[in-house]
């Protein structure tokens, strides 16, 4: 295991340097100034004397990104465009087409059009591939072409897109887009309310409180708060959402840093909306950061039962620091600790393995909740009750990351018809069809065992093994490949849930997916059952 040493170069470091106080600042200042002078001289001489024309902006951008990659993935240089995107994400409002889009070199892939917004009105659907915006071909555009979709309210753009291999055109009139923190809430039965909190933008507390009060007004005596897939956001909103369920003055989270002014304790400042209502919080492997502050602190305070799967494990806090020319450095300034004192950061970015990957924590320390229950640090929030279908695994992740599940859902949508969400049923025959689709696709998923075997076989130094041994290795690799397809059956419940989620959205949008959850999602059904059993619920917390 090798220790990663950060490189102290480039202009953004100046912004960090002025944060340091006392002896740390004095001892580092000369070394920082020295390295900046070296780099400035190098940068000048390179651009003045290199044999071909250089692009100073691109060289600097590359240098900055390479330097920051030595640290953690959350410390980033934000150019002016990035700063605006960062602001939009936190504010929850922007002007555009109202769709989730993924950028590729030659196309923009529509991941999810939002119901009733411009992309949806123009007829775009998930799976459509935008290849041209106005007169600009996406393949010819050097920057992120998704920025071309943004613009002033009322402005119109023409786009060309491919759907199932056929080229189409449409016109989209941009609108103001509001990104709800709480996209859905509803009564599950006459006593149980369900709230989806999808992100911690500036609207999170206000909308969660409004949903809670609305449900209580409809007779809710128990609440399920769904944080699955919530990547986090504003720290202040995490504290205030927690405050809806715990009284004023409770410690929610502590941040610890080498910079003294970033060492803080965050307490609740307001009266709770309801300190007693039974509460279940749902999390999964995509619940991160602010989601973990809320779920972890409610667990530490014995205020809620946590259900689902282990959360992501992001215990690092970032802050944007202003640089020159409208740019910023989003830098990790501290670690946060839940109210019991545990840090749930799962990856150690400052120690890497031989492949340069961050080392995952495998040693956990024990802490206790207010009532004396054991909880642990170092690996996300472990639920009090785990739900199998909420978990994930390397195979499912690979199917998602390679768009296999997404692409299958696209094809499924154009070969099946449903009029309402209650009619949808994903059968065993459908799952077998998915397995055949995977076999015929170019899906590539390499296990750690395969990587080790291929490494062992590579290089001239292994020629002494002989052909028989090498043939045995090749047979083993072939068997592993077959085993990966068989593993689809082993993980059917997890894979099928992701398939159902993706398919339902194609017909009934995000709102329809949440409607589907109320009657079909294992975690919600388990949470509803738990909340109907007061003695079991209380026993878990005590």
Rounded distance between C-alpha atoms, residue 318 and residue 315, angstroms: 10
Give the number of other CB atoms < 10 A from CB of residue 314: 25
Q: 73 φ, ψ to 5°?
A: -75, -5
Instruction: Please confirm, yes or no, whether 300 is among the known catalytic residues.
Output: yes
3-state SS class at 502? helix
Tens-binned pLDDT, residue by residue, of the chain (542 aa): 444 444 333 444 434 444 444 444 455 788 889 999 999 999 999 999 999 999 998 899 889 989 998 899 999 998 888 888 878 777 777 889 999 999 998 999 999 999 999 999 999 999 999 999 999 999 999 878 888 998 889 999 999 999 999 999 999 999 998 889 999 999 999 999 999 999 999 999 999 999 999 999 999 999 999 999 999 999 999 999 999 999 999 999 999 998 899 999 999 999 999 999 999 999 999 999 999 999 999 999 999 999 999 999 999 999 999 999 888 999 999 999 999 999 989 988 888 777 778 888 878 899 999 999 999 998 899 999 999 999 888 899 999 999 999 999 999 999 999 999 999 999 999 999 999 999 888 787 766 666 666 666 666 555 555 666 666 767 776 766 666 777 899 999 999 999 999 999 999 999 999 999 999 999 999 999 999 999 999 999 98
Catalytic residue among 76, 107, 222, 314: 314
CA distances from 136 to 107, 133, 140, 155, 163 (A): 11, 5, 7, 17, 19
How many helices and strands, by DSSP H and E, does the chain display? Answer: 16, 24
Q: Of 76, 107, 186, 289, which one is the catalytic site residue? A: 289
Domains and CATH numbers, the chain: 34-70 (no CATH), 93-178 (2.30.42.10), 184-386 (3.90.226.10), 394-524 (no CATH)
CB of 381 closer than 8 Å to CB of 367: no
By three-state DSSP, how is residue 433 classified?
Answer: helix
3-state secondary structure of 422: helix
CA distance 293 to 336: 8
| β-bridge pairing 99-103 and 108-113 | antiparallel
CB 312 within 8 A of CB 228: no
Give the HSE-up count for residue 501: Cα atoms under 13 Å, Cβ half-sphere.
Answer: 18
Please tell me the distance from the alpha carbon of residue 460 to that of residue 401, in angstroms, as a whole number. 34
Question: Cβ(349)–Cβ(71) under 8 Å?
Answer: yes
**Rounded-to-integer distance, Cα 222 and Cα 215, Å:** 9
The single residue listed with the structure tokens 């996209």 is 183
Distance from C-alpha of 306 to C-alpha of 117, rounded to nearest angstrom: 34
Annotated catalytic residue, options 300, 377, 384, 521: 300
Helices 492-520 and 394-401 cross at an angle (nearest 10°) of 80
């Amino acid at each position: 295991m090798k220790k990663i040493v950060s490189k102290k170069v480039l202009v953004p470091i100046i912004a960090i340097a002025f944060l340091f106080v006392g002896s740390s600042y004095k001892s580092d200042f000369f070394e920082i100034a020295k390295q900046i002078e070296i780099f400035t001289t190098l940068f000048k001489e390179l651009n003045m004397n290199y044999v071909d024309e250089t692009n100073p902006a691109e060289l600097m951008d590359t240098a900055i990104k390479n330097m920051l990659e030595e640290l953690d993935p959350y410390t980033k240089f934000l150019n002016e465009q990035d700063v605006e995107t960062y602001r939009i994400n936190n504010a929850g409002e922007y002007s555009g087409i109202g769709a989730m889009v993924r950028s590729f070199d030659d196309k923009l892939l529509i991941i999810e059009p939002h119901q009733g917004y411009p992309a949806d009105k123009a007829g775009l659907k998930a799976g459509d591939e935008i290849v041209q915006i106005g007169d600009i071909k996406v393949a010819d555009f050097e920057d992120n072409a998704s920025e071309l979709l943004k613009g002033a309210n009322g402005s119109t753009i023409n786009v060309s897109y491919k759907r199932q291999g056929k080229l189409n055109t449409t016109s989209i009139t941009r609108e103001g887009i509001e990104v709800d923190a709480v996209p859905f809430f509803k009564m599950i039965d006459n006593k149980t309310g369900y709230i989806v909190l999808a992100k911690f933008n500036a609207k999170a507390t206000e909308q969660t409180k409004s949903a809670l009060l609305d449900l209580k007004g409809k007779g809710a005596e128990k609440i399920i708060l769904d944080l699955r897939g919530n990547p986090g956001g504003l720290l202040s909103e995490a504290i205030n959402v927690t405050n809806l369920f715990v009284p004023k003055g409770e410690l929610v989270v502590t941040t610890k840093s080498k910079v003294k002014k970033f060492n803080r304790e965050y307490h609740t400042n307001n009266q709770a909306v309801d300190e007693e209502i039974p509460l279940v919080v749902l999390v999964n492997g995509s619940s991160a950061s602010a989601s973990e502050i809320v779920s972890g602190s409610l667990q530490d305070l014995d205020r809620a039962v946590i259900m689902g799967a282990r959360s992501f494990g992001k215990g690092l806090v970032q802050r944007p620091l202003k640089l020159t020319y409208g740019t910023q450095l989003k830098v990790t300034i501290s670690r946060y600790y839940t109210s019991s004192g545990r840090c749930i950061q799962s990856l150690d970015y400052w120690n890497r393995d031989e492949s340069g990957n961050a080392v995952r924590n495998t040693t956990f320390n024990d802490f206790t909740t207010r009532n004396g229950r054991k909880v642990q640090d170092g690996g996300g929030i472990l639920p009090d009750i785990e739900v199998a279908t909420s978990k994930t695994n390397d195979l499912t992740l690979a199917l998602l990351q390679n768009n296999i599940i997404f692409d299958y859902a696209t094809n499924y949508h154009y070969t099946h018809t449903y009029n309402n969400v209650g009619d949808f049923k994903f059968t065993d025959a459908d799952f077998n069809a998915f397995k055949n689709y995977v076999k015929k696709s170019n899906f590539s998923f390499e296990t750690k065992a395969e990587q080790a075997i291929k490494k062992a076989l590579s290089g001239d130094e292994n020629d002494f093994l002989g052909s028989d041994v090498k043939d045995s290795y090749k047979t083993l690799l072939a068997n592993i490949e077959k085993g990966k397809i068989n593993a689809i059956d082993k993980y059917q419940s997890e894979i099928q849930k992701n398939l159902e989620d993706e398919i339902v959205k194609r017909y009934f949008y995000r709102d329809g997916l949440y409607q589907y959850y109320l009657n079909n999602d294992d975690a919600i059904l388990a949470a509803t059952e738990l909340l109907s059993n007061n003695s079991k619920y209380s026993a878990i917390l005590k």
